[in-house]
């Protein structure tokens, strides 16, 4: 097969994908000739469609119907996208303005998925900044009662974690202040995994009068934040999936399983790179009828988390990829204070 024939067949496939995404109706050869300037006869188009079908890129649901793309066809279409098309200046301005109105990190991320679900008409999800890459900015010690403390951990990504510590004996105001100083010396500027060594060593070096409080506080931090990090998700626009065919309850249940979605977002590690997972490429079979578009957000050299959208395999890939990329870009800028 000549390279010219191969290029033309790829153009035919792209036209079929574009038309099917727009209408969700099977596409026939006459429609392709009428709508697209392919420069060949209807008979040639039919031959190309027959070849694409034999190669598994399109299929015919009924003998008299047109063709629809297969998951293999969508994959070739997505892989042939050389660059993500830019949004308009008005769209960029609207995204920037809406995200800049966020009052804190969680509010910015909540706004990002609300905006992304509206822009794409799909379900949108974002992972709160992962504790694995966040560095501790400060640890506050708050006395709740005579035998209970509240540790408030603030990271450089703006994430706030709170943990209760039950004490064996009451602390004075001065002792609570020294506990705070000891904890901050071990934590500030470090990731929690790096700080775990310092936390484990605190007991042997802590002043005798606050040693028990130091041990209890270190144990809570290590057991709840280092050994079992609690990455959280924000989901928006699940109702947009109601028009999907297939087992919608199973799809929604899979999205509500945070472990499943976190695994999907964990692959979005490179800033600026958009990834697309189509149909059976998704690990969870409940998501076989969906496509998932993801990317990472963060700062130079560090990915804080992933965000993306979940929709039907016939989603608008070009538009969705550009919108996911743009929202991630502005989330990163807002979190960096730019």
Q: Give the span between the Cα atoms of 291 and 314, in whole angstroms.
A: 8
Which residue ranges form the domains of the chain, and what is each CATH number?
3-80 (1.10.10.10), 89-129+232-336 (3.30.450.40), 135-226 (3.30.390.60)
Q: Give the span between the Cα atoms of 328 and 323, in whole angstroms.
A: 8
Q: Which residue spans within 247-299 are E strands per DSSP?
A: 275-278, 290-299
Mean pLDDT of the chain: 87
State residue 229's pLDDT score.
56
Q: Give the span between the Cα atoms of 53 and 60, in whole angstroms.
A: 8
State residue 74's pLDDT score.
96
Chain segment 198-252, per-residue pLDDT in tens: 888 887 888 889 999 999 999 988 887 776 555 688 999 988 888 777 667 888 8
- With vertex at residue 287, the alpha carbon angle to CA 233 and CA 234, rounded to the nearest 5 degrees, is 10
State residue 232's pLDDT score.
80
Chain segment 173-197, per-residue pLDDT in tens: 999 999 999 999 989 998 877 888 8
Element (H, E) at 272: none
Q: What percentage of the chain reaches a pLDDT higher than 90? A: 46
Enumerate the β-bridge partners of residue 182: none
Chain segment 22-76, per-residue pLDDT in tens: 998 999 988 898 888 888 888 899 999 999 999 999 998 876 678 999 999 999 9
Lowest mean pLDDT across 94-98, 128-132, 325-329: 128-132
Report field, pTM of the whole predicted structure over 0.85: no
State residue 1's pLDDT score.
60
Q: What is the DSSP letter of 191?
A: B
| Residues whose CB is less than 8 angstroms from the CB of residue 96 and which lie 6 or more positions away in sequence, other chains included | 330, 333
């Amino acid at each position: 097969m000549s390279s010219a024939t191969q290029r033309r067949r790829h153009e035919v496939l792209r036209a079929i994908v574009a038309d099917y995404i727009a209408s969700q109706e099977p596409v026939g050869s006459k429609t392709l000739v009428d709508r697209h300037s392919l420069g060949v006869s209807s008979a040639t188009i039919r031959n190309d469609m027959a070849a694409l079908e034999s190669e598994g890129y399109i299929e015919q649901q009924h003998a008299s119907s047109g063709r629809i793309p297969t998951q293999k066809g969508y994959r070739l279409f997505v892989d042939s996208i050389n660059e993500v098309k830019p949004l308009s200046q008005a769209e960029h301005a609207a995204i920037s303005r809406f995200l800049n109105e966020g009052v804190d990190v969680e509010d910015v991320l909540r706004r990002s998925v609300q905006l992304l679900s509206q822009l794409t008409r799909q379900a949108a999800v974002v992972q709160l900044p992962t504790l694995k890459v966040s560095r501790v900015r400060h640890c506050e010690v708050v006395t709740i009662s005579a035998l209970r403390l509240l540790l408030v951990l603030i990271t450089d990504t703006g994430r706030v974690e709170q943990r209760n510590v039950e004490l064996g004996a009451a602390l004075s105001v001065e002792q609570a202040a020294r506990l705070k100083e000891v904890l901050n010396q071990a934590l500030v500027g470090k990731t929690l995994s790096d700080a775990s060594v310092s936390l484990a060593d605190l007991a042997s070096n802590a002043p005798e009068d606050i040693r028990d409080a130091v041990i209890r506080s270190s144990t809570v931090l290590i057991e709840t934040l280092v050994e079992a990090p609690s990455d959280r998700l924000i989901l928006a626009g699940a109702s947009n999936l109601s028009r999907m065919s297939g087992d919608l309850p199973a799809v929604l249940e899979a999205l509500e399983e945070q472990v499943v979605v976190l695994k999907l977002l964990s692959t979005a590690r490179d800033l600026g790179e958009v990834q697309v997972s189509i149909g059976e490429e998704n690990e969870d079979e409940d998501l076989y009828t969906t496509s998932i578009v993801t990317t990472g957000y963060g700062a130079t050299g560090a990915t804080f988390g992933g965000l993306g959208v979940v929709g039907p395999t016939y989603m608008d890939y070009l538009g969705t990829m550009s919108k996911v990329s743009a929202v991630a870009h502005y989330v990163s800028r807002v979190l960096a204070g730019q």
